[in-house]
Chains A and B, each alone.
Chain A
Amino acid sequence: MPKDTSLNKILVIGSGPIIIGQAAEFDYSGTQGCLALKEEGFEVVLVNNNPATIMTDTKIADAVYSEPLTVESIEKIIAKERPDGLLATLGGQTALNLAVELDQAGILQKYGLKLLGTSIESIQKGEDRELFRKLMIDLNEPIPESKIVEDVPSALQFADEIGFPIIIRPAYTLGGKGGGIAYNREEFISIVTNGLKMSPINQVLVERSIAGFKEIEYEVMRDAKGTCITVCNMENIDPVGIHTGDSIVVAPSQTLTDEEYQMLRQAALKIIDALKVVGGCNIQFALDPESKQYYVIEVNPRVSRSSALASKATGYPIARMAAKLAVGYSLAELKNPLTMSTYASFEPALDYVVVKFPRWPFDKFTKADRKLGTKMKATGEVMAIERTMEAALQKAAESLELNNIGIYLPKLVKEDTSALINRLQHADDERFFILMELLRRGVSIDELHSQTKIDYYFLHVFNHLIELEGKAKKEKLSPSLLKELKFFGFSDRSISYWQKTEEKEIRKLRKEWGIKAIFKMVDTCAAEFEARTNYFYSTYVFGENEAVSTRGKKKALVIGSGPIRIGQGVEFDYSAVHCIQTLQKLGYDAIMINNNPETVSTDYETADRLYFEPLTVEHILNVVENENIDVTLVQFGGQTAINLAEKLEKAGVKLLGTTSELLDILEDRERFYQLLDETNIPHIQGAMAHTKEEAISEAKKLRYPILLRPSYVIGGKGMVKVKNQEELLSLVEQTDENHFPLLLDEFLFGQEAEVDLIADGKNVFIPGFMEHIEPAGVHSGDSYAIFPAVSLSKEIKEKMTDYAERMVQHLQYKGIMNIQFLIDGQDVYVLEVNPRASRTVPIVSKVAGVPLVDLATTILTGKMLTDLHPQIAAHEYVAIKYPVFSTHAHSDVDMKLGPEMKSTGEGMCVGKSVEEAMRKVFDHLFPIHSDGIFVDGDKKDDVLDYIKPVTDNFESWLEKKEAVLYYNPEENDQAKARRQKALERGIMVLTEEASFQAFLSALTVSKYTPISLHELSDKGVEMSL
């Protein structure tokens, strides 16, 4: 079937700001989808209020709206743009739910909007527990005994029949939000009560637990003609019981016979066909490890995190194909873009192993509940490709950027064996490393199997790794041992650790002994057909190197930012992708190295060559050597890339614009303050302490409160505000030695502002000033912010500019830089300088109409600012950046904001005034009933002038349907408990007076109008590079 020619303009709904369960994968699928539609000649209108994405770039769609993802807001856009088609299967649960709501509100009908791809009816059959259950029964597909309940007594009745454990899954929530496993009556009542509240339709499913079964997923596709294919299957190493987003997953399945593989595949195809899905669909099964009995667990009739993973694991571009299927094409009509000689109606064959490892935020949320269950807690993930399971696991572990040395997590050494075995009973984020540690201590595979139900196949692989590690520890390194270790994925760093030598020594030895990495291609077809891909992974010891370096253009390597985590989100991928695109425009061969399967940067179509590798010195050097890289850029891969700079430089890699000397000056507090003193830039009083004693003596010279933190951090990791000496003493006493040196800074109360600037060593271009709404003390990533700033005086801005210029000129800095300022009256202090693209770069670029990364890249490759003449868009709109928190996933983490970052994502709304933009930010709370807002805490009188107080007490207010916002700025236990209760009921919580005032300003606005980013930039001057 060819393209649907009745369509001209298609509205695509994105997934909004990043939250756990809905992350960068939807930037990847959304970008692919929009580009696929444009390729077919459709006009594309996109609504997505996550500015830190490639898909919201004005060149991806014909109109991009960073507007609220609410029915009201989308109706306004529909009324304005009058699209004739709606594609809602690329924007996660958010878009899917909106499509259902738009349909139910009669808006699709009112505007004659055709829903493309999977129908509403099918979506509901997949998503609504009862409809889904009925369909499975009709199809004769097995599902675990379960019951849909809308109240606690009926849930209890089920529990009495079935017994515990029981799984609770609320309807229509993402990432298993509000669900869990209950092992007893008490837990059961609590989870069910909460789940009912979290479900938008107050419905939960209670279900017999099949924990311990193998968890197998299939990514399937179907076209409107009914052709079905499976792109990939995946096996969770962790059996059923842990959310697949929190599981270590391998592709393809490893422990299924062909009969089992085909049995589940056939069931998957039968289900997708019955659902009449048009596009991609994810189906999860539980398979009894001792029989052919299986159950269908879940169906997601849309592209998902798993489909992004499957796309990267196989090379098959699911979202791109799904978009084409949605506009009428059939699979057999579409070419496989990797081979261009075969068609999309085939099933990829892998000749390598893929491991996905989740990345959890417990390095930030140190006190949060680390236990894993049916509710997803990971913020991101890494993927690794290799030819043995052992090596793939090692690569994945190397990519995590935690305090692990490969498969070894030193902190576990201190825990005794029985405690570690205990920790296995209820899985947590360190389970893989605990298993490794226990095997290291000689605990049997049988014991580990009985504790975890992990398949023996995987446990044997784990044990093999430990056997090899034992050799690395005890034996003298010989060429044959080194070969064996490299073959099974031991990094030079791991080997050097066990051999008590330096990493570079191992690299040297390898070269002497001729043991090197070669690169293999990902081509969807196991080399059966000639492929034209540029997508590679490394493997060691033997084999043909398929990534033969091409001659001709100069080669530039861009280092990516790795897994999404708090403090380093999709915005860094945005920068990396822009850098790649600019390098290509400038005539370079742009080469990407990254390990995050969710992102646009790891789409094989983004760079000229993609190396899917851990971001470690060893792997980067391998690529540099293999490709004969001319220049490497580390300014666009967040702190991950910056942290690698020194070692790369020492290894002789030519970095553009970044030197270890520069980084040291900016990151070593003593040298940084010295720099500020030399350039006469005011800074806060502070010191650096290398020992506990030094910390105590240095603190005596400062005024409390003091901000205490380790140096070299991402997103304020480990930052604490210390009120007095007593607190300091106790904290310093508890601090682990490897966290030193510590930074101590006086804590000033004042306004924060920041700039993202472009510098060419002499000249500075500042596209605008961003002011934070909350005062200093709230991490910049968690603050509401206004761009361009509205309250900063001309004098203040001049000071900021002056300081920025002085700094750049003194450092002769080239590229992109972020400077954070503190403003106290007329005084401006420099707080922090980041010599890299920052979190706010996409916002500034989009609102000012200036592509900052493109400019920076152009300058880094040799141009001067005076050659480029960047100009700021001449509009009078203002943008609000707002933080978004994943409290659904980490409900035990207190929302009270502080110097440590807690948000997982950010959104942006644009308005003619700050108030209008704010109105959009809080649109999802509207209409707000007079009982909707509860103001709590000692200082409530400060804000109560503005709104009518709620007369209820807190507990009874909580139960009200109208309750939407809870404000409590206090730092005590009661406040914390109340915030938590509010969050658990899906009520928004604000903890800062400034944020609350900002919210109040939104109440003054009753109407708002959507504005596209194209309209903003059209008001500016197009810059040519």
Chain B
Amino acid sequence: MQGYLVLEDGTVFEGKMDEIVSPVKGELVFYTGMTGYQEVLTDPSYKDQIVVFTYPLIGNYGINDQDFESKKPQVKGVILFQLTEHYSHYKANRSLKDYLQKWNIPYLTNVDTRAVVKQIRSKGTLHAVISKDKQYDSQDKLSDFPIRDVSASEIETFGNGATHIALIDFGFKKSILNSLLKRGCKVSVVPFHQMEKVFEIKPHGIVLSNGPGDPKQMKNYFSTLNQLMKQYPTLGICLGNQLIALSFGGNTTKLRFGHRGANHPVIDQKTGNVFITSQNHSYVVDKKSLEKTPLKLRYTNVNDGSVEGLEHEKLKVMSVQFHPEAHPGPEDASFIFDEFLDTYVAAGREKVYA
């Protein structure tokens, strides 16, 4: 049947949809990567967002059991040009369509996705509804605390390596956990609301995960975070990067329309090296606000100069705005984990055992 994507500014895009119970609302964002739809759909950072895929053929390789970033799709809705029904891949066991239907994720196909992107580009991020009517009208409410909705409730420990890392969960991507496990770590995933338990766990280091929404919603935790970082080597990823900046007195702002894709060039100010990163964020650390903090700018975005990563002057604290764990996207930045574990965590451990 006919369906519509209605933007809060009144712009209407037509498409085709299956029957849905009621219109859904979300923040409208676009993803420019040409592969990785399964990872995107299940990345908790996309909580409450309607994702527009700019690549027109989505679903070619179906859905498999391995490439999930969390247990279920996290997006509010999906906007597509074409949804491939006849998928083909040896690992796949269902079509994307079946998967979306199973989880009741509304999707609109046959949409001029490029025109939607241009609208977002000119207006900045907007809210939108997927509906069978042309009205921007929905009873659907957005979560007032999306991080709470996507993070775990209990501490869970994975692996049995010698290096113990506490992964503080703001809605972590499974690939962050995997990146640490692959490097021989034992990882305790600690829900953000239990972060003070890290003091009991006494890990060798902390990783602050990615997560959805505005980092300032976490302001009640800034002082605990600050305490933790004074004690443990810390790596912040995406939301984690923003939280570190805020905890040390910096500020964050919202980008006009975010960075979401697999092709963002980042330059390391220390070495001059440029590498391609996977990104997914709306909020960004305000570069100017860093002046009053003990944080130094380490990485910046080649295209718009925005903050891509920080280092603490004295403490063993580093953070990146991009996704070194990839999935989806390039693995050029995987060295971040090595640097963190080999330089920050290992150095700390030597001290402990000395």
Interface residues of chain A, those whose CB is within 8 Å of chain B, are 225-227, 229, 252-259, 261-262, 265-266, 269, 289-291, 330-332, 341-343, 345-353, 387-389, 455-457, 460-461, 464, 520, 525-530, 542-544, 546
Given contacts A226-B273, A543-B114, contact A346 B67 (CB under 8 A): no
CB distance from A179 to the nearest CB of B (A): 30
Interchain CB contact under 8 A, A345 and B274: yes
In the complex, B168 has a CB within 8 A of chain A? no
Q: Which residues of B contact A457 (CB under 8 A)?
A: 60-61, 84, 86-88
Question: What sequence of 0s and 1s flags, for each residue 29-48 of chain B, a beta carbon within 8 Å of any chain A beta carbon?
Answer: 01011111011000000000
Interchain CB contact under 8 A, B60 and A227: no
- For A255, A258, A259, A289, the residue with the greatest tally of chain B CB atoms inside 10 Å of its CB is A258
Q: Which of B14, B35, B114, B115 contacts A257 (CB 8 A)?
A: B35
Q: Which residues of B contact A343 (CB under 8 A)?
A: 265, 302-303
Q: Which of A255, A331, A349 contacts B88 (CB 8 A)?
A: A255
CB proximity to A under 8 Å, residues B54-92: 54-57, 60-61, 64, 66-67, 81-82, 84, 86-91
Interchain CB contact under 8 A, B54 and A227: no
Given contacts A347-B262, A347-B263, A388-B57, contact A227 B34 (CB under 8 A): no
Interchain CB contact under 8 A, A258 and B329: yes
CB proximity to A under 8 Å, residues B145-195: none
Interchain CB contact under 8 A, A544 and B67: no
Q: Which residues of A contact B331 (CB under 8 A)?
A: 262, 266
Interchain CB contact under 8 A, A528 and B261: yes
Q: Which B-chain residue is minimally distant from A351 (CB atoms)?
A: B54
A and B contact pairs by CB, cutoff 8 A, 14 listed: A227-B273, A252-B34, A252-B55, A253-B35, A258-B327, A258-B329, A261-B34, A269-B332, A387-B82, A455-B88, A457-B60, A526-B261, A527-B117, A544-B115
Interchain CB contact under 8 A, A525 and B32: yes
CB distance from B191 to the nearest CB of A (A): 28
Interchain CB contact under 8 A, B121 and A530: yes
In the complex, B309 has a CB within 8 A of chain A? no
Interchain CB contact under 8 A, A258 and B328: yes
Q: A229-B276, A525-B32 are in contact. List 13 more A-B contacts (CB 8 A).
A: A255-B89, A257-B61, A258-B33, A269-B332, A342-B302, A345-B265, A346-B276, A347-B263, A351-B55, A351-B117, A457-B61, A520-B114, A527-B118
Q: Which residues of A contact B239 (CB under 8 A)?
A: none
A464 to B86, CA, bound (A): 10
CB distance from B12 to the nearest CB of A (A): 13
Q: Which residues of A contact B35 (CB under 8 A)?
A: 252-253, 256-258, 261
Interchain CB contact under 8 A, A460 and B88: yes
A851 to B54, CA, bound (A): 45
8 closest cross-chain pairs (CB), A and B: A258-B36, A460-B86, A456-B88, A526-B54, A543-B112, A347-B263, A457-B88, A349-B32
Q: Which residues of B contact A229 (CB under 8 A)?
A: 265, 276
A547 to B114, CA, bound (A): 14
In the complex, B295 has a CB within 8 A of chain A? no
Interchain CB contact under 8 A, A257 and B274: no
The A interface, classified by DSSP as helix, strand, loop or mixed, is: loop
Interchain CB contact under 8 A, A528 and B274: no
A402 to B335, CA, bound (A): 52
Q: Which of B32, B54, B82, B117 contacts A388 (CB 8 A)?
A: B82
Interchain CB contact under 8 A, A528 and B32: yes
A342 to B255, CA, bound (A): 17
A253 to B36, CA, bound (A): 12
CB distance from B239 to the nearest CB of A (A): 21
A265 to B274, CA, bound (A): 16
Q: Which of A257, A261, A346 contacts B302 (CB 8 A)?
A: A346
Given contacts A349-B261, A526-B55, contact A227 B112 (CB under 8 A): no
Interchain CB contact under 8 A, B67 and A258: yes
Interchain CB contact under 8 A, A527 and B39: no
Q: Which residues of B contact A388 (CB under 8 A)?
A: 56-57, 82
In the complex, B267 has a CB within 8 A of chain A? yes
Q: Which residues of B contact A542 (CB under 8 A)?
A: 14, 110, 112
A225 to B272, CA, bound (A): 9
Question: What sequence of 0s and 1s flags, for each residue 114-138 of chain B, a beta carbon within 8 Å of any chain A beta carbon?
Answer: 1101100100000000000000000
In the complex, B94 has a CB within 8 A of chain A? no
Q: Which residues of A contact B327 (CB under 8 A)?
A: 258-259
A167 to B38, CA, bound (A): 37
In the complex, B330 has a CB within 8 A of chain A? yes
Q: Which A-chain residue is minimally distant from B116 (CB atoms)?
A: A527
CB distance from B82 to the nearest CB of A (A): 6
In the complex, B337 has a CB within 8 A of chain A? no
Q: Which of A255, A330, A352, A455 contacts B56 (CB 8 A)?
A: A352
Interchain CB contact under 8 A, A262 and B326: yes
- Size category of the B interface is 35 or more
Q: Which residues of A contact B261 (CB under 8 A)?
A: 349, 526, 528
In the complex, B275 has a CB within 8 A of chain A? yes
In the complex, B298 has a CB within 8 A of chain A? no
Interchain CB contact under 8 A, B57 and A254: yes
In the complex, B282 has a CB within 8 A of chain A? no
CB distance from A189 to the nearest CB of B (A): 37
In the complex, B321 has a CB within 8 A of chain A? no
Q: Which residues of A contact B267 (CB under 8 A)?
A: 332
Q: Which residues of A contact B32 (CB under 8 A)?
A: 349, 351, 525-526, 528
A525 to B260, CA, bound (A): 12
A348 to B112, CA, bound (A): 20
A640 to B229, CA, bound (A): 70
CB distance from A734 to the nearest CB of B (A): 43
Q: Which residues of A contact B241 (CB under 8 A)?
A: none
Interchain CB contact under 8 A, A348 and B89: no
Q: Which residues of A contact B110 (CB under 8 A)?
A: 542
CB distance from B124 to the nearest CB of A (A): 13
Q: Which B-chain residue is minimally distant from A526 (CB atoms)?
A: B54
CB distance from B273 to the nearest CB of A (A): 7
In the complex, B113 has a CB within 8 A of chain A? yes
A389 to B33, CA, bound (A): 18
CB distance from B44 to the nearest CB of A (A): 17
A529 to B114, CA, bound (A): 12
Q: Which residues of A contact B114 (CB under 8 A)?
A: 351, 520, 526-527, 543-544, 546
Q: Which of B61, B88, B121, B302 contacts A527 (CB 8 A)?
A: B121
Q: Which B-chain residue is minimally distant from A339 (CB atoms)?
A: B303
A229 to B265, CA, bound (A): 9
A259 to B121, CA, bound (A): 29
CB distance from B79 to the nearest CB of A (A): 13
CB distance from A216 to the nearest CB of B (A): 12
CB distance from A175 to the nearest CB of B (A): 29
Q: Which of A256, A265, A289 contacts B330 (CB 8 A)?
A: A265
Given contacts A258-B35, A259-B327, contact A346 B303 (CB under 8 A): yes
Q: Which B-chain residue is minimally distant from A527 (CB atoms)?
A: B117
Interchain CB contact under 8 A, A257 and B64: yes
Q: Which of B84, B121, B326 contacts A528 (CB 8 A)?
A: B121
Interchain CB contact under 8 A, A257 and B54: no
Q: Which of B39, B117, B275 contacts A227 (CB 8 A)?
A: B275
A347 to B35, CA, bound (A): 13
In the complex, B264 has a CB within 8 A of chain A? yes
Q: Which residues of B contact A266 (CB under 8 A)?
A: 330-332
Q: Which of A254, A346, A460 contacts B263 (CB 8 A)?
A: A346
CB distance from A541 to the nearest CB of B (A): 9
A291 to B66, CA, bound (A): 13
A229 to B54, CA, bound (A): 21
A226 to B275, CA, bound (A): 10
A289 to B60, CA, bound (A): 14
A266 to B327, CA, bound (A): 13
CB distance from B336 to the nearest CB of A (A): 15
Q: Which A-chain residue is minimally distant from B35 (CB atoms)?
A: A258
CB distance from B37 to the nearest CB of A (A): 8
Q: Which residues of A contact B60 (CB under 8 A)?
A: 254-255, 457
Q: Which residues of B contact A349 (CB under 8 A)?
A: 32-34, 54-55, 261-263
Q: Which residues of B contact A351 (CB under 8 A)?
A: 32, 54-56, 113-114, 117
Given contacts A262-B331, A456-B88, A527-B54, contact A256 B118 (CB under 8 A): no
